Structure 1
């Protein structure tokens, strides 16, 4: 940081708080949809279908959001590398908040027919574009303010994901507990989505008080540093790192969506009460908020590669225990399965990614490169619940699902082994 003063402690704290709250709010909206897709949408927007087919269709709308995330990464990454991180983050937050609120106002299939699921898909795509632009900017806001312990500070953006899951799950559980089944399906499910407008106001207030990152301001002062087409620069000069970033994240996100979406629907179909499943999800998400920074701080000491590699191999093994534990019918085993998966094993893979992806690309293309690597790999998260539901509908057993999850995690292991260690990288390059 040659010309811009390094960030002070208070600036770093504001940046980390803004990144964390922004991520929490965005993932509250995005993951609220995932839970609703598993529990509600097949009964509200696909009422003319067989229940299992309706579940597949519901997960199809979930996938649309994940497929839109790379587009958001490209759009907001382009302007974030040229105009700054902070400006884009205000836009992404507003876009997500408005889209989520509108989902809460949608008419049902019984009211407007096929138009209802079409509107649902359209708003889900908007959600995906917003989240696709949010993550990269939020990570860089923290990472580029941090002088030391970058893994720890950047990881609070990732900790926002389970925090958002906790909030969305708790809100859904409270609404479900206070309504009958008929009331919940008629109007209760809408309340958590309508809450988004309040969270949006809070997030915009916090984000407006954060300064642009010193690293970007320094780069902006260097003549010719602002790349006209950051995406072209990434594809031309950093194709290996981009492909490795995609491969590293693929297993991470397949496992994430399995634990936070598909396994929830699987448990409900296995006969567990909806409230019991939501309680297990809320507990595991709350514990993950602690585990993510802890594993990321560990990666500051020993490196990103060994932490992510350990998590990937552990998740590949755990995939073969997940569904048998749920199939026992025991509430204790269900809770243990979700907690082990989401709060013990998965954070090892997920936590260090924030710093790792920031360190894999240079300043002038960092927003684009980090966002694209992360968001393209996240398409696996959108596709896996849909694929798994279709496999079960076609007669496949849980063992097949476990094999797929394990294979994806082994891809993560291979790619992180092939990547360079980055935890001592200078982000001013």
Structure 2
């Protein structure tokens, strides 16, 4: 009995610690989302301030693919635990240095260059989180795969919710003037403080029960045995991330562009709560509806609703509803991908599939920013994302059969 309790305690600790890292990934990655317009003004002053703010998000997104390769390799070669300890330290320290950066008014062009370099470095460590962390949770869990998948994916938007709440609290108690002057630095530094807590918890993490040191290079195994699955996996996640980063995650810049900056905090908070709800519901709903048709159906509905929410009537309600519908599919990403990759190269396969999708979807915010009106650009990119997701999903499903 005591032995059984001990095993369950180890299982719970492993799942919670890996999950907490994914929460912190969302927190640190999107800590800048509510303040992208401010960062644009401080580090990219002038006519390209909007694009400059968006580039701080893009820099992190394009750093993630490199991190998925490096840390996925570490997670497969040396264990999920080692990879997860490294990632959390890396992105927390990057957040702290960003909080201390001088602005353009102080050091000129070095300011935006340094900011983008640090955001890229942060992306490298953040990109290494999902592969080992998802493998750890899915390999320890006793739940149905659909339910575990939804649980895993809820961590990221919960991190975004926490970041949004922290942003609202800072603005409320400091006021816009003080926040814009120096409060944003304290706000950014919270990413390092919280991530250190995650590191302390992870230091007691027990290795996955399925992991064993592979006899060959896991990256070699991945590209030799799982190359085709990897390609379709990247297409699948690339489409989803194109949707994600061309709509809901850039609502702050969209609202500023249409003159509704005052409602940015409430829209971001409620939309993210809606996203978490959809992700968690995706698990149990897919037990009743085939997961393929559930993903395809919800994406088609969200695309049909997008012109209303983003062009005809971009208000609080419509933006929240769109975020809710489009996030159902995100809840099933681990379930779609987990069995495509052998345990010897699973952390690499999962991480690369997810983060290399950003080589497709990571550019969406910049492309949207170049199209006028912005709402039209969001709908166009969302259409492309839905098409890519469905193609990738159907090809993966065909291979699984």
TM range (shorter): over 0.9
How far 1:175 sits from its partner (Å)? 1.5
Match of 2:319 among 318, 338, 355: 338
Gaps in structure 1 of 5+ consecutive residues: 221-225, 328-333
Deviations 1:336-381 (A, max 9, x none): 2232122x21222100102222221111111111111100112334
CA contact (8 A) 1:158 1:292 kept: yes
Q: How does 1:29-428 map to 2 (within 5 A)?
A: 29-37=28-36, 39-47=37-45, 49-50=46-47, 53-216=48-211, 219-220=212-213, 226-274=214-262, 276-300=263-287, 302-327=289-314, 334-342=315-323, 344-392=324-372, 398-420=375-397
How far 1:400 sits from its partner (Å)? 4.5
Pair 186,59 (structure 1): closer, same or farther in 2 beyond 3 Å: same
Pair 302,172 (structure 1): closer, same or farther in 2 beyond 3 Å: same
CA distance in 1, matches of 2:228, 2:369: 33
CA distance in 2, matches of 1:312, 1:320: 14
How far 1:6 sits from its partner (Å)? 12
CA distance in 2, matches of 1:123, 1:324: 35
CA distance in 2, matches of 1:72, 1:314: 34
Between 286-295 and 397-406, the greater mean CA deviation after superposition: 397-406
CA contact (8 A) 1:245 1:373 kept: yes
CA distance in 1, matches of 2:333, 2:398: 12
CA distance in 1, matches of 2:318, 2:7: 42
How far 1:209 sits from its partner (Å)? 2.6
How far 1:26 sits from its partner (Å)? 1.6
RMSD: 2.3
How far 1:7 sits from its partner (Å)? 9.6
CA distance in 1, matches of 2:375, 2:163: 27
CA distance in 1, matches of 2:292, 2:7: 29
CA distance in 1, matches of 2:231, 2:286: 22
CA contact (8 A) 1:325 1:337 kept: no
CA distance in 1, matches of 2:374, 2:52: 20
TM-score, normalized by length of structure 2?
0.92
CA contact (8 A) 1:19 1:157 kept: no
How far 1:241 sits from its partner (Å)? 0.8
Deviations 1:57-96 (A, max 9, x none): 2212321211111100000111111111011101100111
Gaps in structure 2 of 5+ consecutive residues: none
Deviations 1:375-403 (A, max 9, x none): 011233421111111123xxx56334312
TM-score, normalized by length of structure 1?
0.86
